Amino acid sequence: MSRFNALDGTTSAARVAVVAAGMVSPLGFGLEETLVSLRRATDCVAPVTQFDVTNCRCKTAAQIPDQRLLAGGPNGRKSARLHRASHLMIRALEELVQEDPQFKPELTVIGTTSGGMSFGQDYYRALNRRRSLRHSPEWIANYPPQKPVLDAQEEFGISAPCFVIANACASGTNAIGHAFECVRSGKHKRILTGGYDALSELVFVGFDSLQAATPEKCRPFDRDRSGMVLGEGAAVLALEDLHAARDRGAKILAEIIGYGISTDNHHLTQPDPSGSGPRRAMSDAVKNARISPDNVDYINAHGTATFFNDAAEGKAIRELFQCVPVSSTKSMIGHSLGAAGAIEAVICLLALQSQFLPPNINFRAPDPDLALNIVANESREAKIDIVLSNSFGFGGTNASIVIGKAPP
């Protein structure tokens, strides 16, 4: 398929397979480590080490160890110039490429919220404090949000045009959803999709200033939830027309079957308490998948553990679904913003492959106003065929995707 879109082609509803995935998150490097950590219900949240948080209310985050992150990927001077986000993307894409070296994407659609933000901070701090600007060309060149994606593509000889979606915390799910629509429309055969974000001081302090971040444990959907913790990571998925994938003998890991997107105009940072935005995204995703809500066996919730977000999402889930098991894996790995939707999609993929429900840890007491079937504290074995993953963000962006088990 050419990158040249003549706008005169016919469209057809193709089925969309996930043929490979790669991920780095606080749960581990790669899908195998991630699966072990998920089953163990690992709490990856620890005191922040990347910058000073003395004056913040929240002092914890889920971080990826530098030593291990920087040990892989490109070597030498190039490696030192790259932003942490580029290293995250390179490690995630490395796994995908190893899994399916034949996968050659026509487009790349990746989500992020903050790009190379910490380089922007370094630059501004150096300007303001009249410190050395010797590194400023590197900071400036590696700051744009498309740069980590281009760095990762270049590392593995991929030259696909790059679409970077910045729909705040829904970016990763929006990227996967848009990539899914592009393949399903018949316009494209193969798209690389996913999301990334690295922890940065500006964003950390931002959430702290809003009092959205908690000084305590992250307890999504708990009666006593007090806020989110931040995380970081990257995840990528290779989406391919199912027939094309089968024709070349690719391994099918799962099938994306539905996508819903909505915009909630209530407030820039808070959801409509009625849950109408999340409800519409989920409802549209289920309709788009041509299934009934009863067919959904598990929901990986957005579940940030902020009072208003969990209340709106919980209300929408309760209204749409009958007692479906729900968990927020952010309880283990924090909220990785633009990467969250992609990481959670890969977690869903692992859940479908290994037939278990990932846990919602730190859960102590159910919220009587929500009455959800929470997968509390421990993972559960379960027969699951179809799962739904939610991401909601600032600006009122809501996105849901529906993922099915690999077709026989």
Partner 1 sequence: MSLSIAGMGWITPLGRGVDAVWQRLLGGEEATAQSISSAQNKKTYSGFLVPNEALKDLPPHPRLRRASSISRYAVAAGLDAIASARLGTLKLDMNRLALVFAASNGGVNYTKRFYHGIMESGAQSASPLLFPETVFNAPASHLAAILGINGASYTIVGDGAVGILAIKMASELLQNQSLDCCLIVAAEEADWVLCDAYRKWRLLKARPPIEPFNTPPRGTIFSEGAGALLLTRAGAVKIDAIHAGGNFSHQRNASEIVEWILHDLRDDNACIITSANGTFVDLAEAAAIAGQSPGSMVYSPKQALGESVGASALWQVIAAAQALINKRLPRMVRAPAHAGLRFPDGSNGEVDQNALVLSCGLNQQAAGLRLSI
Find the binder of partner 1 among 30, 145, 148, 278 (CB under 8 A).
145
Angle at 90 between CA 110 and CA 253, to 5 degrees: 65
Residue 4 lies near partner 1 (rule: CB under 8 A): yes
Residue with tokens 């929408």: 316
Residue 161 lies near partner 1 (rule: CB under 8 A): yes
Q: Mark whether 302 is an active-site residue.
A: yes
Q: Mark whether 348 is an active-site residue.
A: no
> Which residues, at least 6 apart from 295, have a Cβ–Cβ distance to it below 8 Å?
286, 385, 386
Find the binder of partner 1 among 147, 189, 217, 279 (CB under 8 A).
147
**Residue 292 tokens, joined:** 């009934």
* Closest to partner 1 by CB, 194 or 396: 396
β-bridge pairing 356-357 and 28-29: unpaired
Q: Which of 209, 212, 193 is nearest to 201 (CA)?
A: 209
Residue with tokens 């729909």: 167
Per annotation, catalytic residue among 169, 182, 218, 348: 169
**Which residues inside 201-230 make contact with partner 1, applying CB under 8 A?**
201-202, 205-211
* Closest to partner 1 by CB, 268 or 323: 268
Find the binder of partner 1 among 92, 182, 343, 348 (CB under 8 A).
182
Residue 174 lies near partner 1 (rule: CB under 8 A): yes
Per annotation, catalytic residue among 56, 182, 335, 348: 335
Q: Mark whether 188 is an active-site residue.
A: no
Residue 115 lies near partner 1 (rule: CB under 8 A): yes
**Residue 404 tokens, joined:** 């099915």
Residue 3 lies near partner 1 (rule: CB under 8 A): yes
**Which residues inside 280-299 make contact with partner 1, applying CB under 8 A?**
280
Q: How far is the CB of 172 from partner 1 (least distance, A)?
A: 13
DSSP state of 283: H
**Residue 304 tokens, joined:** 């940030």
Complete DSSP assignment for 254-269 = EEEEEEEEEE--S-SS
Find the binder of partner 1 among 94, 264, 310, 367 (CB under 8 A).
264
Q: What is the CA radius of gyration of the chain?
A: 20
The span of 155-163, 243-251, 316-324, 369-377 binding partner 1 (CB under 8 A) equals: 155-163
CB 253 within 8 A of CB 238: no
- Residues in a beta bridge with 387: 298, 403
Residue 322 lies near partner 1 (rule: CB under 8 A): no
The 10 Å Cβ neighbour count of residue 161 is: 11
* Closest to partner 1 by CB, 210 or 406: 210
**Which residues inside 23-82 make contact with partner 1, applying CB under 8 A?**
53-56
Residue 341 lies near partner 1 (rule: CB under 8 A): no
Per rule CB under 8 A, count of chain residues that contact partner 1? 77
Q: How far is the CB of 353 from partner 1 (least distance, A)?
A: 29
Find the binder of partner 1 among 34, 63, 389, 397 (CB under 8 A).
397
CB 74 within 8 A of CB 38: no
Main-chain phi, psi angles of 256, to 5 degrees: -85, 130
